[in-house]
Amino acid sequence: MSDALTIRAATPGDEAALRRLAALDSSAPLHGPSVLAERDDVAVAAVALTSGDVIADPFRRTADAVHMLRLRRYLLVRQSNDVGPGWLLLRRRRLALP
């Protein structure tokens, strides 16, 4: 088992993983665009870009993942100068990458 953490935009293919996380966390599924944290190619936490709601696997070490997700969301929102639609935040971020 690796400690490497991957933070990335959730895609439509991640819907099942997001539903699984919400069920494990006894939370409602996230709405709208979100950012996902993975460890060993398994989703361990996610944050909704527009609301800031977080879901995480309570059976795994996720404090660092949640912290990084919140930081990534903050940077995306701050970079765009508004909270705007989440998809727009992700688009702006992709365009800003080298």
What are the pLDDT digits (tens) for 40-89? 999 999 999 989 999 999 999 999 999 999 999 988 877 765 555 555 55
**pLDDT (0 to 100) of residue 3:** 80
Domain positions in the chain are 5-90
**pLDDT (0 to 100) of residue 21:** 97
- Per-residue pLDDT for 90 more than 70? no
**pLDDT (0 to 100) of residue 98:** 44
pLDDT band, very low/low/confident/very high, at 93 (cuts 50, 70, 90)? low
**pLDDT (0 to 100) of residue 76:** 83
**pLDDT (0 to 100) of residue 12:** 93
Residue 95 CB contacts under 8 Å (≥ 6 apart), including other chains: none
Residue 10 CB contacts under 8 Å (≥ 6 apart), including other chains: 18, 33, 34, 35, 36, 46
Q: Provide the whole-model pTM.
A: 0.79
CATH label, 5-90, candidates 3.40.50.2300, 3.30.70.360, 3.20.20.70, 3.40.630.30: 3.40.630.30
